[in-house]
Amino acid sequence: MIHAQADQNARQQLAVQVVDAKTRKDLSWQQLADVTGLSVAFVTAALLGQHPLPADAAKAVTELLGLDEDAALLLQTIPLRGSIPGGIPTDPTIYRFYEMLQVYGSTLKALVHEEFGDGIISAINFKLDVKKVEDPEGGSRAVITLDGKYLPTKPF
């Protein structure tokens, strides 16, 4: 049976346990994802409390992390989503994404609507990828791909 959480506390507390176990065992998010067969972005989001994991994935991850059956069960519940409480984020990395949306949000909206019409980009039927590439001018660049299904607005 599928179960949903009523508040974020249980999943947030589990996320703290996951990060602690991941750190103590010196594991990467990719290593955790590898035991599930799912993408690193999805598994990371799930372990940080934003998605449920399938039963086999939850069991594999909790075994690798040394967490108990209760943790595996909780990882399978549908969370109350949202990881940025209280308005403008203060973490510098998250704030830069907020800043990007402040600067380019209206541009993205205009371009999406011009290309597709009235509707939204799904965050449910969605894929995320982050890649590190070398910058020809020196250093590195982050290439972030947000790949969501377009859902048109339907008159009713």
Residue 30, token pair as written in the block = 């990719």
Tell me the CA distances in angstroms from 32 to 13, 21, 26, 102, one per residue in order.
Answer: 18, 11, 11, 33
Q: Which helix (H) or strand (E) holds 99?
A: helix 92-116
Q: Which of 28, 63, 69, 99 is catalytic?
A: 99
Task: Establish whether 114 is a catalytic residue.
Answer: no
Q: Which of 24, 81, 96, 141 is catalytic?
A: 96
Q: Which of 24, 63, 81, 122 is catalytic?
A: 122
Task: Establish whether 11 is a catalytic residue.
Answer: no
Least Cα distance to 61 among 113, 1, 13, 17 occurs for: 17
With contact defined as beta carbons under 8 Å apart, do 47 and 76 qualify? Answer: no
Task: Establish whether 115 is a catalytic residue.
Answer: no
Catalytic residues: 96, 99, 122
